[in-house]
Structure 1
């Protein structure tokens, strides 16, 4: 698939963590600003081995953001990056437990302000999903959702949960009230499942937490009944190809994304933590199209899946579809 088509394709990204978008230069700048010594040389800064090391690095990076202006700035910079990838719309997750130096009541409004400023300046339309950590308590989760309800913002769209999915069986019992309260209040709800948890984790996310879409979800491939349900109910899976290759699969040919797509499940392609993984969305689409033989119409279908799965209002979706349709006319692709 030629790069020029993918570069120009209007894109939507639904599975990306703000914590994983800080580039090395910004990290070094924030460390110097706060008088914090780098844990290793700059050229080796964004390296990790395994999930525990990754999370430790993530927490250290986020600890460098110590005031609202820095939070606004990194949100604005993400919107600039996204526009450079021709991402027209993004739903970005942030987990306040990683940002040790700022309370969420300060962090979230500043991120939203950064997104609003960037959009006003012509950059990507970015929205925010607040993510809980699997190890949080029922009280903490409900407190977060009730804060979201009290402090509604047009760019604050939903609730997520990430962390060690192996804890999903016990954590779902702690978190389910918060998820259903959020859903009943009109927020979108999405759940990380089916990556470090087996297929059963996806089923639990749907049945216990009321998930409207699944982040990762690739291990659903082991359960034929679940695959049928995902296809029949058109439940979106926001897949992160390279991220899964780091954690789960030895090569792209072993990754189930191609099979999930062929089964008619509405998959989307995303980056997860692009700076930490050294990737971008254009590159991920090139990787997938090369591995699975996808043509231009297939890539358009992925983006249509993403628009349908987005938590935004119907007016915004109509605008996104119109941009995709206009691009298809240029390339003479049936929409």
Structure 2
């Protein structure tokens, strides 16, 4: 599939972490402002020896952000970058535990203010999902959910959880009260599962945490019963192919995304941590199309899946569908 088509295609991204979107120029600027030495030469900052090194670098980058104004700028910069990718709508995840210099009471309003300003200036419509860390306590998770409930904002959409399931095996049961309370308060629920956990993690995300969609979910491929459930119940999997190659698969051709798509599961494609992974959504879609033999209709279907899986209101979903339809009509006439 041609790159020009992918670049013009109106896109939706649902699995992206704000922590992984900080551009190199801003990192250097913040390091200079805070008098923090770079851990590596600038041209090597986005090279990693493994997952632990990657997470250490992520925390180091976030540690450079010391005030809400820097957060606002970072959020604004992401929305502007997303617009350059022709992403019309994005649901962006942030995990407050990464931002050591800021409380979530400072972090979340700063992000939302940046997204508001960017949208007013004509950039991508960005919404926020706040993520727990799997090692957090029941008390910590409930405190965050109750703060979110008391400080509602139109762009604050839902609750997430990320972190290594393999070393936090009881986390779903520890955090389930927070997710139940969030759902009762009207927040949407998405869960990272089926990457650092086997297929069992996806079952638990659905049955214990009440997940409405799954971030990753690729290891569902080993469980035929789960695959049938995902397809029958139309449970979306927000898949990030390049990110999964770091730990799970030796090549994109061996990634299960193509098979999951063929099974009728409503998959979407996202970038996870685009700056740290040196990937963008257009390239992610181009590589996936080449690996799995997808054409224009398949790439359009991925965007339709993403619109359906989004947590925005019905009016916004229809607006996104209308934008996609206008593009498709023009494409078919050309």
Q: Same fold (TM over 0.5)?
A: yes
Q: Is contact 1:243-1:271 (8 Å) kept? A: yes
Rounded Cα–Cα distance in structure 1 between residues aligned with 2:167 and 2:16: 21
Rounded Cα–Cα distance in structure 1 between residues aligned with 2:19 and 2:216: 17
Instruction: Report what 1:119 is aligned to.
Output: 119
Instruction: Report what 2:290 is aligned to.
Output: 290
Return 223-232 or 288-297, whichever deviates more.
288-297
Q: Is contact 2:90-2:126 (8 Å) kept? A: yes
Distance apart, 1:93 and its partner CA: 0.2
Instruction: Report what 2:303 is aligned to.
Output: 303
Distance apart, 1:167 and its partner CA: 3.8
Instruction: Report what 2:330 is aligned to.
Output: 330
Q: How does 1:248-327 map to 2 (within 5 A)?
A: 248-327=248-327
Cα distance per residue 1:175-218 (max 9 Å; x no partner): 00001111111111000000010000000000000000000000
Cα distance per residue 1:257-289 (max 9 Å; x no partner): 000000000000000000000000000000111
Q: Is contact 1:168-1:197 (8 Å) kept? A: no
Distance apart, 1:68 and its partner CA: 0.7
Long gaps (5+) in structure 1: none
Rounded Cα–Cα distance in structure 1 between residues aligned with 2:155 and 2:102: 20
Rounded Cα–Cα distance in structure 2 between residues aligned with 1:233 and 1:187: 20
Instruction: Report what 1:86 is aligned to.
Output: 86
Rounded Cα–Cα distance in structure 2 between residues aligned with 1:208 and 1:167: 18
List, as ranges, runs of 4+ consecutive aligned residues in structure 1 with deviation greater than 3 Å.
none
Matched positions, count: 333
Rounded Cα–Cα distance in structure 1 between residues aligned with 2:29 and 2:297: 42
Long gaps (5+) in structure 2: none
Instruction: Report what 2:43 is aligned to.
Output: 43
Q: Is contact 1:88-1:320 (8 Å) kept? A: yes
Instruction: Report what 1:228 is aligned to.
Output: 228
Q: How does 1:236-247 map to 2 (within 5 A)?
A: 236-247=236-247
Q: Is contact 1:169-1:201 (8 Å) kept? A: no
SS of the counterpart of 2:169? helix
Rounded Cα–Cα distance in structure 2 between residues aligned with 1:325 and 1:224: 34
1:141 aligns with 2:141: yes
Rounded Cα–Cα distance in structure 2 between residues aligned with 1:29 and 1:47: 19
Rounded Cα–Cα distance in structure 1 between residues aligned with 2:244 and 2:222: 16
Instruction: Report what 2:28 is aligned to.
Output: 28
Q: CA RMSD in A?
A: 0.8
Distance apart, 1:57 and its partner CA: 0.7
Q: How does 1:169-208 map to 2 (within 5 A)?
A: 169-208=169-208
- Normalised to the residue count of structure 2, the TM-score between the two structures is 0.99
Q: Is contact 1:234-1:265 (8 Å) kept? A: yes
SS of the counterpart of 1:189? strand
Distance apart, 1:231 and its partner CA: 0.1
Instruction: Report what 2:67 is aligned to.
Output: 67
